[in-house]
Structure 1
Amino acid sequence: MLFISAKGDTINTAPDNPYFDKVFDLVAYWSSKSEMIELQTSGSTGKPKTIIVQRSQIEASINMTKEVFNLSENDLFFCCLNVNYIAGMMMVFRALEIGADLIVVEPTSNPFENLGNQEHLVSKNRGKNFFSFVPLQLQTIIESEKHLPLLKACKATIVGGAALNPRLEAKCQELNIPIYATYGMTETMSHIAIRDLRNEGQTFEVIKGVAIEVNTNDCLRICSPSTKDEWIQTNDVVELIDRKHFNLKGRIDNVINSGGLKIQLEQIEWKIAEKLDLQERYFCYGLKDERLGQKLILVIESEEIVVTNEQMQGIFGKFETPKEIYHLPMFLETQTAKIDKNKTVNEFIRN
């Protein structure tokens, strides 16, 4: 664990850990007032790439987040996301720019475990902690009796990087603490829209200063101070409700054509989550098929068979039922802890 106070004092419980060297590099960069920085995209939806952004874009994103969550120098920022990528990097930059205390731990499924005997740094700061997680981390913490009180000590918690399943959303509603799903990407310097998980529904609301529209394919376009007030085209299909609200349907490259029928994979995953109480991770995918062009398959992370074709056929309609179900002992992941669907299929199914 690495603790950096607003005054620059540090507590490093693992001084030989090279992961924290990157954090100190980020601190040095921010202190240098350098105007440009390289960012690495996660590669979850395509090949990873490096982009160059301006400091002013990062500052604009920080200011938007500061305003929407009412963050101040009295708060504590807890970073448990990979600092080599935008989500983790921005947690460090936010703390530095706002002048708040910062805790950094290496990414794990339950990051609070890495606090060790320093849990008091979070627990004593009740109502002033700002957390950021991926869904797997949030779910693990909620299911942990030991560390759930630390989560309840938050001022605000944001969760992003992957879709939340209905079961996790229901648990967030039950807790009734300020947990927000976020929408954003590397090119927008983190989130540009949020969704309060204390309320039921899938509608995202853009942060103040962000403009949105859709193209002819209903893919979202974004313009904000964090994009230098230039329009960014995404591959995310949305239902645009008005100028400030949208529902996320899925990525346009996750639409498959099976026997002439277009299927949005995320929509099938959502229906599976609603109708089956799967504890395991899973995803839908489109495999090449001589007869259908592409066939819908379901891939489940489990060493045991937890769902059969017969069960699926009894619950779902003809076109929503996967043609094949694969059970794999493990999924491959990106560096940001997202499921790498293409690599998983190529490694364990296509081979």
Structure 2
Amino acid sequence: MMYGPLTHRAATTPDATALVDADTDREWSVADLDSAVERVAGRLAALGVQPGDRLGVLLPTRPAAVRMIHAAMRLGAVLVPLGTRLSTADLVTRLDRAEVTTLVCGATTEADALAAADAATADVPVVSVDDADAATELAARSPDAVVPHDWSLDATLLVPFTSGTTGVPKGVRLTLGNVLASAAASAFRLGLDRAETWHVALPLHHVGGLTPVVRGPLYGMTVVCRSEFDAESVAADFERYDVTATSLVPTTLDRLLDATSGDLAPSLRTVLLGGAPATEELLERCQRRSVPVFPTYGMTEAASQIATATPAEAAAHPGTVGRPLFGTEVSVRADDGTERSPGEVGELVVSGPTVSPGYLDAEATAAAFGDDGLHTGDVGYRDGDGRLWVLGRTDDTILTGGENVAPATVVEALRDHPDVDDAAVVGVPDEEWGERVAALVVPADASLSAATLTEHCRDRLADYAVPKTIRFADAIPRTDSGTVDRDAVRERF
């Protein structure tokens, strides 16, 4: 039988601490969490959620979200984690593409959930884990009896979303086999032991935040969750709970270093750093402060990590993301598909047991997945010792603070303003965010201001996609073929 990992863990170490809510200092043992998950699963079943249903979850990083993740596994429902910062239009797109059958929210996300469900193509019931204004309250239902679902390794367990090069959100089918292979390979590389305490303050719609929650029962580790990243609070959590591992993006690690001095915590052994390339300056700060940073290259399509450098590798070879994880193969390909030699630059192609069987969309799957593996759209090379170096993207996607932003989506929002004639959007270097979204705008009305456009975009885009820099021009630089000359646009900033 292949049940969810919490079911097995409850029979193995029921008294161990499974979950800590850093916002309230409340703890759950494995047995306590297992019982709570059983009640949640039973109430969902009473509402009609069945194996194979698509369960959308719009919750911040809090215990209720952790319980919902494990409840979906217990029921056999496919989890569709959704970002709490998404606009209504973005949520509707994801609900429709994933064919979500029930949407779970909380007090802070109920209004967004109801608005998205109301605009979705299909009827999507909205259920709240808190007291609700209009959504169905989960706690009001008496739980049905639940038989733990027997999963097959090739069954789709999760459908997180990622942004592709066109900006169209793509739902990634991650199987139980993908997740288990990733968990094993990560443990091998990081050198984890059975006494880990992993701190999670990343959003749970990102694999960087989601995977520690899923892996907690597999490793037998404690998960400490905090609903929002605040550097001072996170630093205090590290000390209070003897945190041994955490997942961060460069922006949050920078803030954590700014807010502290010396080492981050004597117990800390692993800082898994992903979501965006780490600068050499950030890595040097970590070395000076004895921060055990593991720079990693990963993708949603590979269930998180693809390659991860150890702290020693990161210090000796700044900029590398290390060697591919156990079972993962990375080849470097030329445009014609031939494999490049060590030191030669090309597109990174990934294969192995962690790689998704594809997207929800068959056309997108055919475009990215081939006989040789997943064509990542990333450019890099392998050195003579097999270490991987990632140099950038084959497309123009902007990576800001660990979030992917498609320029076309931002341009569309800008052009929707009646006083905008034309616009171009690029990513420009930013010390805090890695890249920031910058917009060059041709106004139809000379009185148009950057502040007006910022407010306009906030109603249409996720907050991280709103341009942080807006400048005006008489015309957008274009090539002879009529496409935007992005290098010329960047020169304006």
The separation in 2 between residues aligned to 1:285 and 1:243, in whole angstroms, is 38
Asked whether 1:254 is paired with 2:396, we answer: yes
Task: Tell me by how many angstroms 1:160 deviates.
Answer: 0.8
Of stretches 225-234 and 279-288 in structure 1, the one that deviates more from structure 2 is 279-288
1:92 and 1:192 map into 2 onto residues whose CA distance is 19
What's the offset of the Cα at 1:286? 9.3
1:141 — aligned with what?
256
Say which SS state the counterpart of residue 228 (structure 2) adopts: coil
Distance 2:281 2:353 in 1: 35
Which TM-score applies when normalising by structure 2? 0.49
Contact 1:158 1:179 in 2 (8 A): yes
Contact kept in structure 1, 2:333 and 2:348, CA below 8 Å:
yes
CA distance in 1, matches of 2:283, 2:68: 36
Counterpart residue type for residue 467 of structure 2:
T
Confirm or deny: 8 A CA contact 1:80 1:106 kept in the other structure: yes
* Alignment-derived partner of residue 91 in structure 1: 212
Q: Report 1:252-331 matches (<5 A).
A: 252-254=394-396, 269=429, 282-283=435-436
CA, structure 1 residues 169+119, in 2 after alignment: closer, same or farther (shift >3 Å)? closer
- Letter matched to residue 211 of structure 1: E
Which whole-Å CA distance do the structure 2 matches of 1:119 and 1:238 have between them?
34
**Cα distance, 1:254 vs. partner?**
3.4
User: Residues 79 and 103 of structure 1 are in contact (CA less than 8 Å); yes or no, is this contact kept in structure 2?
Assistant: yes
Asked if 1:47 is matched to 2:168, the reply is yes
Distance 1:173 1:284, change over 3 A: farther
C-alpha distance after superposition, 1:289-328 (max 9, x if no partner): 9xxxxxxxxxxxxx9xxxxxxxxxxxxxxxxxxxxxxxx9
In structure 2, do the counterparts of structure 1 residues 161 and 18 end up closer, same or farther at CA, with 3 Å as the change threshold? Answer: closer
**1:113 correspondence with 2:136:** no
> Which residue of 2 is the match for residue 241 of structure 1?
383
Q: In the alignment, residue 53 of structure 1 is paired with which amino acid?
A: L
Mapped partners of 1:253, 1:92: distance in 2: 32
Aligned partner of 2:123 in structure 1 is: none
- The answer to whether the aligner puts 1:344 opposite 2:467 as a matched pair is yes
C-alpha change, 1:220 and 1:73, in structure 2 (3 Å) is same
Task: Pick the aligned partner of 2:200 from 79, 88, 91.
Answer: 79
Which position in structure 2 is the counterpart of 1:212? Answer: 330
CA distances 1:249-281 after superposition (whole Å, capped 9, x unpaired) = 1001139xxxxxxxxx99x94xxx8xxxx6786
The answer to whether the 8 Å contact 2:202/2:228 transfers is yes
Q: Does the 8 A contact of 1:39 with 1:86 survive in 2?
A: no
2:238–2:268 contact (8 Å) kept in structure 1? no
Q: Name which of 63, 70, 85 aligns with 1:27.
A: 70
2:478 aligned residue: none
How far has the Cα of 1:203 moved from its partner? Answer: 2.1
Counterpart Cα distance in 2 of 1:51 and 1:161: 17
Deviation at 1:29, TM superposition (A): 3.1
Residue 226 of structure 1 is matched in structure 2 by 354
Amino acid at match of 1:23: V
What is the Cα deviation at residue 63 of structure 1?
A: 0.4
Give 1:248 deviation, angstroms. Answer: 1.0
Pairing 1:68–2:68 present: no
- Residue 175 of structure 1, aligned match among 289, 300, 303: 289
**3-state secondary structure, aligned to 2:210:** helix
Decide whether the 8 Å contact of 2:378 with 2:392 is kept in 1: yes
Give, as a single letter, the amino acid of the residue that structure 2 aligns with 1:48: P
Alpha carbons of structure 1 residues 109 and 215: separation in structure 2 relative to 1, 3 Å: farther
SS in 1 for 2:275: coil
The CA distance in 1 between the partners of 2:265 and 2:176, in whole Å, is 31
Q: Which residue, 291, 303, 319 being the options, matches 1:189?
A: 303
Distance 1:248 1:280 in 2: 18
Instruction: For residues 187-206 of structure 1, give each alpha carbon's deviation from its aligned partner in whole angstroms, at most 9, with x where no partner exists.
Output: 00001101233334222321
Alpha-carbon distance in 2 for matches of 1:95, 1:247: 30
1:54: Cα distance to partner?
Answer: 1.0
Letter in 2 for 1:213: S
Larger radius of gyration: 2
Q: C-alpha displacement at 1:24, in angstroms?
A: 1.1
Match of 1:162 among 246, 263, 276: 276
- Taking the aligned partners of 1:81 and 1:208, their CA distance within structure 2 comes to 25
Q: CA deviation at 1:42?
A: 4.0
Partners in 2 of 1:81 and 1:121 — Cα distance?
A: 19
Query: What is the rounded CA distance, in whole Å, between the counterparts of 2:238 and 2:390 in structure 1?
Result: 36
Query: How has the CA–CA distance of structure 1 residues 4 and 26 changed in structure 2, closer, same or farther, with 3 Å as cutoff?
Result: farther
Aligned partners of 2:356, 2:384: CA distance in 1, in Å? 23
Higher strand proportion = 1
**Structure 2 vs 1, CA of residues 60 and 44 (structure 1 numbering), >3 Å: closer, same or farther?**
same
What is the RMSD computed on CA atoms of the aligned residues? 3.9
